[in-house]
């Protein structure tokens, strides 16, 4: 199955190939429900989010309890003692974890989402047999170590080295930074330069290693952080750490590709965490605004509060649809899902930031105190837009990847106009997706948006060529168009499936949310199109250069 988002850039949308919406079947849902129910009971009794924030630590008994529930083995195959959850099941557990506590969700994700993923994807049978059973039980806790003091978004600039010794093993030297779970992880997936294995394409040779704490790496001091204070975040120091050749994961020099694939697969998990936290915040805000009275009535009856409640619900509904359309397609065999997962991560993290901001505003002064969860969750939410690829880097990645097929087609003389655009001019062109009559307007908006993206992408390639990767404002606008379209498509596919299964009367709530979410997304898409046609980019960039020269604002004038 090809990437649906890549096809949107060239004006193609085959909704039939994506339908029906990938809900869980009864067997998968039964297993998931049992796990979530047990987790809910455990969380109610043992997880105290305020205390974790206050103490800057997830208690050992909580970690042990998660291990007993099997949460460290969610992604581990059954033959190695795990639960073998698929992507949709796994992300749904992450939704729940984030409702209970952000640092607990991050601890779990640091282990299962990225910590063991390279081993699952590229580990040898021997490596899996050696480590997965102990990782599944929680005897070993995992972490992922890519970032360095001088290598954040530019992962290829890392300086940690792994050089061969006389026995053919590797000696690691260097420092890793901001490592989640790094204070207690027993097994770390580490990426290092391997000068003894030069690549033929001239790129830096980076390889992937499984490094045990017993091999000698040292955890640095816990970072003092704005939020997610209960999450362990430390530097890791490697000084002459000897790693057996048997712990090399994949082929020598293939580490950068492995790291990217691990991160690509992990981004839906982070988006799911944002969905869980956002759902909890909306519930708390709905309760608060129903009870808090001003001017003789609940503040939830005032329009400017209702506006916030509605947009929180609409954006979270869109996020729900996007995440589980993406994971469902991954479970069906969509291997090329980097763009879909990246858009889920960007939309999810920014949606949560908007939701928590609105929640604090609705709570007023109480939202700024530690008596309520809002201020803690606001602090916890901010890092998500930095985690697992900054949103800026991901926007550029989505656009430049999507534009490759556009450039090839234009070079071959294929026009950029999709058939969907013809419906705007009154031609007889079918809507791209079969939806209930109540959503036909929204399906039309989607078809127009696909055509707009195709034209915008073709124009960007024609104007900028390969230099478009440096036109980051253009890339961001194109990515935002694609993100809005992916959201509209996900919402419409789910609504159509729900109505087909339940009927329009029973699905009234679904249709209401779908209509609101699609119209918000369609406006976002149109705004992005307009920003490419009418903007102040030149003045903006000129001002930025001046600010760097001034070192801030120029001096005051008396």
DSSP letters spanning 206-249: EEEEEEEGGGT-EE-PPP--SS-TTS-EEEEEEEEEEE-GGGEE
Q: Which residue has the higher pLDDT, 434 or 516?
A: 516
Domains in the chain, CATH or no CATH each: 4-12+258-385 (1.20.140.10), 26-137 (1.10.540.10), 142-252 (2.40.110.10), 413-547 (1.20.140.10)
Query: What are the two backbone dihedrals, phi and then psi, of residue 164, each rounded to the nearest 5 degrees?
Result: -70, 140
User: How big is the chain by its Cα radius of gyration, in Å?
Assistant: 24
Give the pLDDT confidence score for residue 314 in this predicted structure.
98
Contact 494, 15 (CB under 8 A): no
Can you tell me the distance from the alpha carbon of 515 to that of 328, in angstroms, rounded to the nearest whole number?
22
Neighbours of 125 (CB within 10 A): 7
Can you tell me the distance from the alpha carbon of 325 to that of 495, in angstroms, rounded to the nearest whole number?
12
Residue 428 pLDDT > 70? no
Give the pLDDT confidence score for residue 426 in this predicted structure.
41
Alpha carbon of 33 to those of 25, 37, 61, 90: distances in Å?
Answer: 12, 6, 24, 12
Give the pLDDT confidence score for residue 14 in this predicted structure.
87
Give the pLDDT confidence score for residue 502 in this predicted structure.
97
Kindly report which listed range (170-179, 420-429, 440-449) carries the lowest average pLDDT score.
420-429
Can you tell me the distance from the alpha carbon of 284 to that of 371, in angstroms, rounded to the nearest whole number?
13
Specify the DSSP element, H or E, that contains 190: strand 187-193
- The catalytic residue positions are 388
Name the nearest CA neighbour of 263 among 422, 107, 147, 413: 147
Can you tell me the distance from the alpha carbon of 453 to that of 442, in angstroms, rounded to the nearest whole number?
16
Contact 278, 230 (CB under 8 A): no
Residues in the chain: 558
Give the pLDDT confidence score for residue 153 in this predicted structure.
83
Residue 235 pLDDT > 50? yes
Give the pLDDT confidence score for residue 154 in this predicted structure.
85
Residue 416 pLDDT > 80? no
Going by pLDDT thresholds of 50, 70 and 90, the confidence category of residue 404 is very high
Residues 417-446 as b or e (16 or more Cβ within 10 Å = b): ebbbbebeeeeeeebbbebbebbeebbbbb
Q: What is the DSSP code (8-state) at residue 194? A: -
Average pLDDT (306-316) is 98
Residue 440 pLDDT > 50? yes
Contact 292, 59 (CB under 8 A): no
Q: What is the DSSP code (8-state) at residue 506? A: T
Give the pLDDT confidence score for residue 409 in this predicted structure.
86
| pLDDT, tens only, 314-342 | 999 999 999 999 999 999 999 999 999 99
Going by pLDDT thresholds of 50, 70 and 90, the confidence category of residue 415 is low
Tell me the whole-structure pTM to 2 decimals: 0.96
Cα 169 to the center of its chain, rounded Å? 36
Contact 353, 385 (CB under 8 A): yes
Give the pLDDT confidence score for residue 537 in this predicted structure.
95
Kindly report which listed range (130-144, 350-364, 419-433) carries the lowest average pLDDT score.
419-433
3-state secondary structure of 163: strand
- Please report the beta strands in 82-166, taking only residues with DSSP state E, as ranges in sequence order: 142-145, 161-164
Give the pLDDT confidence score for residue 422 in this predicted structure.
42
Residue 424 pLDDT > 70? no
Name the nearest CA neighbour of 288 among 297, 302, 298: 298
Going by pLDDT thresholds of 50, 70 and 90, the confidence category of residue 414 is low
Residues 450-487 as b or e (16 or more Cβ within 10 Å = b): bbbbbbbbbbbbeeeeeebeebbebbbbbbbbbbbbbb
| pLDDT, tens only, 110-146 | 999 999 999 999 999 999 999 999 999 999 999 999 9
Going by pLDDT thresholds of 50, 70 and 90, the confidence category of residue 420 is very low
Residue 265 pLDDT > 90? no
Q: What percent of the chain has pLDDT over 70?
A: 97
Contact 183, 235 (CB under 8 A): no
Indicate the pairing of strand 206-212 with strand 161-164.
Answer: unpaired
Residues 359-370 as b or e (16 or more Cβ within 10 Å = b): bbebbeeebeee
| pLDDT, tens only, 494-550 | 999 999 999 999 999 999 999 999 999 999 999 999 999 999 999 999 999 999 999
Give the pLDDT confidence score for residue 421 in this predicted structure.
43
Kindly report which listed range (56-65, 81-90, 196-205, 305-314) carries the lowest average pLDDT score.
196-205
| pLDDT, tens only, 473-497 | 999 999 999 999 999 999 999 999 9
Average pLDDT (161-171) is 97
Going by pLDDT thresholds of 50, 70 and 90, the confidence category of residue 171 is very high
Residue 417 pLDDT > 70? no
Can you tell me the distance from the alpha carbon of 175 to that of 147, in angstroms, rounded to the nearest whole number?
9
Which distant-in-sequence residues (6+ apart) come within 8 Å of 141 by Cβ? 63, 72, 111, 115, 181, 184, 185, 186, 187
């Amino acid at each position: 199955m090809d990437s649906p988002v890549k096809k949107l850039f060239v004006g193609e949308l085959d909704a039939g190939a994506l339908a029906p919406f990938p809900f869980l079947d009864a067997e998968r849902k039964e297993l998931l429900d049992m796990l979530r129910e047990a987790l809910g009971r455990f969380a109610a009794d043992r997880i105290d989010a305020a205390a974790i924030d206050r103490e800057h630590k997830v208690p050992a008994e909580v970690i042990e309890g998660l291990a007993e529930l099997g949460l460290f083995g969610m992604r581990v195959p059954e033959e190695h003692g795990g639960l073998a959850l698929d992507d949709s099941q796994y992300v749904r557990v992450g939704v729940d974890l984030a409702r209970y506590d952000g640092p607990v969700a991050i601890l779990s994700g640091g282990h299962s989402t990225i910590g063991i993923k390279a081993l699952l994807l590229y580990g040898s049978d021997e490596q899996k047999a050696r480590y997965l059973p102990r990782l599944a039980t929680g005897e070993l806790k995992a972490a992922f170590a890519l970032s360095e003091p001088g290598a954040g978004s530019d992962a290829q600039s890392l300086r940690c080295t792994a050089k061969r010794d006389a026995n053919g093993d590797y000696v690691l030297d260097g420092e890793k930074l901001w490592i989640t779970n790094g204070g207690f992880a027993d097994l770390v997936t580490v990426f290092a330069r391997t000068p003894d294995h030069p690549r033929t394409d001239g790129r830096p040779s980076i390889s992937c290693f499984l490094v045990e704490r017993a091999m000698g790496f040292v955890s640095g001091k816990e970072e003092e952080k704005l939020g997610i204070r209960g999450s362990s975040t430390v530097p890791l120091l490697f000084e002459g750490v000897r790693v057996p050749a048997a712990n090399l994961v994949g082929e020598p020099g293939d580490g950068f590709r492995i790291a990217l694939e691990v991160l690509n697969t992990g981004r839906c998990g982070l988006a799911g965490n944002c969905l869980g936290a956002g759902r909890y915040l909306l519930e708390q805000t709905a309760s608060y605004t129903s009870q808090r009275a001003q001017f003789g009535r609940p503040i939830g009856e005032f329009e400017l509060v209702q506006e916030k409640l509605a947009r929180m619900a609409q954006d979270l509904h869109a996020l729900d649809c996007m995440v589980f359309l993406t994971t469902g397609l991954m479970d069906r065999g969509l291997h090329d899902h980097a763009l879909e997962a990246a858009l889920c991560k960007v939309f999810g993290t920014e949606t949560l930031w908007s939701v928590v901001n609105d929640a604090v505003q609705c709570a007023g002064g109480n939202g700024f105190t530690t008596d309520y969860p809002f201020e803690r969750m606001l602090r916890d939410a901010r890092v998500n837009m930095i985690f697992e690829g900054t949103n800026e880097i991901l926007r550029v990645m989505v656009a430049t990847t999507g534009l490759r097929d556009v450039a090839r087609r234009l070079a071959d003389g294929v026009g950029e106009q999709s058939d969907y655009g013809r419906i705007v001019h009154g031609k007889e062109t079918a809507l791209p997706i079969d939806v209930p009559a109540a959503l036909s307007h929204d399906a039309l908006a989607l078809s127009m948006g696909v055509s707009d993206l195709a034209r915008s992408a073709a124009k960007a390639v024609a104007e900028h060529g390969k230099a478009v990767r440096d036109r980051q404002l253009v890339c961001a606008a194109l990515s935002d168009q694609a993100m809005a379209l992916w959201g509209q498509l996900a919402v419409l596919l789910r609504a159509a499936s729900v109505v087909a299964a339940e009927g329009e009367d029973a699905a009234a709530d679904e249709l209401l949310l779908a209509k609101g979410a699609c119209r918000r997304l369609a406006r976002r898409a149109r705004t992005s199109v307009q920003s490419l046609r009418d903007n102040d980019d030149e003045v903006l960039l000129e001002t930025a250069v001046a600010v760097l020269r001034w070192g801030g604002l120029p001096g005051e004038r008396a």
